[in-house]
Structure 1
Amino acid sequence: MTFANFKIAPLEINESEKFFNLIDTNRKRLEDFFAGTVSKTRTLHDTITYCHEIKQKEKDKSYFPFIIRDLQTDAFIGLIDIKNIDWNIPKAEIGYFIDAKYEGQGVISKALGLVIEYLSETYHFKKLLCRSNSRNIGSIAVAKKNGFTLEGTIKRDYKTTKGELVDLDYYGRIF
């Protein structure tokens, strides 16, 4: 999937270093709400191991990571991941982030729209959901731009890496 100067594609094992660089550059701002990814990518070696784990999860159809790449620089600039997949319905949770340098440019909104279209056509999901802290205005705006609506707030639903229990707003999109 491509648009403007960007390409969206599955994460490949041989690109572990670029993935590590994306996470490491944004580590501080990701640590609370991408805690699993951040904890599994502390070093390049850890990241390579994690990328092998991801490939197995992709084969099992239990996790799908999509990387957003800037075609001008060939750098990884964002991640959209599909997790907590329930094939009985079928539904999944979608998470996303964009490198700080690309925030506010509409890149993640456009990329998310393309991935949602792909997921709908390829896997025939009936529902996608995303969770966000109510303070994460940018993430909520991206979800709303892509047709997600607030379904409710779950109190004390997530523990941050700092140990804080926070409420999460659940946004859903039905197909």
Structure 2
Amino acid sequence: MDIVFNNFRITTLDTNEDEKFFYLIDRNRDRLEDFFAGTVSKTKTLHDTTIYCQNIRDRVLKKSYFPFIISDLRANTFIGLIDVKNIDWNIPKAEIGYFIDAYYEGQGVISKSLGLVIEHLSETYQFKKLLCRANSSNIGSIAVAKKNGFVLEGTIKKDYKTTRGEIVDLDYYGRVFS
């Protein structure tokens, strides 16, 4: 996948670009810590990130995980991630997560990127359902989901453990395809 819009590009993460990936996570580590806990914990150092990217490569080959990276073409840097995980090919359905670098927040880049990735997933893999989970306090993430056709399906109590050990409720948003 390679989609360009404005000065941005969405591609499948090239796991050989572990250094750019590390710096994206590292720049945003504090704000990602609670709800991208797995990625944050596995990318504490560049070496950790290299190993994590090797693991990602294996998961992509097995079609159990799809990471899409958003790049700023002017700055030649990674600025966001949209990942597709918890794939159930029997239905088929998947969970989608996303974040944008703090510098690009509020500019519509993640909303536009998510819409393009969803279109790609729908056409390429014929997913019948996508879902995303968000803490009710994450107003930005919820707004991005709603802009892309996701609707609140419910709140699951005590559904996620943050890196600080707090167990929190999560709102589930779903989008169904014909």
Which secondary structure state, in structure 2, belongs to the residue aligned with residue 14 of structure 1? coil
Q: One-letter code of the match for 1:148?
A: F
Q: One-letter code of the match for 1:22?
A: L
Q: One-letter code of the match for 1:157?
A: D
| Corresponding position of 2:18 | 16
Identity %: 77
1:78-93 alignment, distance < 5 Å: 78-93=80-95
Give the one of 46, 49, 52 matched to 1:50: 52
How far residue 94 of structure 1 moved from its aligned partner, in angstroms, is 0.1
Matched, 1:154 2:156: yes
Distance of 1:98 and 1:71 partners within structure 2? 15
Equivalent residues, number: 175
Distance of 2:91 and 2:65 partners within structure 1? 16
How far residue 78 of structure 1 moved from its aligned partner, in angstroms, is 0.2
Structure 1 residues 48-72: Cα deviation after superposition (integer angstroms, max 9, x where no partner): 1110100100000000000000000
Q: One-letter code of the match for 1:53?
A: N
Distance of 1:117 and 1:106 partners within structure 2? 17
Give the one of 106, 116, 119 matched to 1:114: 116
| Corresponding position of 1:127 | 129
Distance of 1:5 and 1:141 partners within structure 2? 23
Structure 1 residue runs without a partner (length 5+): none
Give me the TM-score of the superposition, normalised by structure 2: 0.98
CA-based RMSD of the aligned residues comes to: 0.4
Which secondary structure state, in structure 2, belongs to the residue aligned with residue 147 of structure 1? coil
How far residue 2 of structure 1 moved from its aligned partner, in angstroms, is 1.1
Give me the TM-score of the superposition, normalised by structure 1: 0.99
| Corresponding position of 1:26 | 28
Distance of 2:14 and 2:144 partners within structure 1? 26
How far residue 111 of structure 1 moved from its aligned partner, in angstroms, is 0.1
Structure 2 residue runs without a partner (length 5+): none
Which secondary structure state, in structure 2, belongs to the residue aligned with residue 94 of structure 1? strand
How far residue 13 of structure 1 moved from its aligned partner, in angstroms, is 2.0
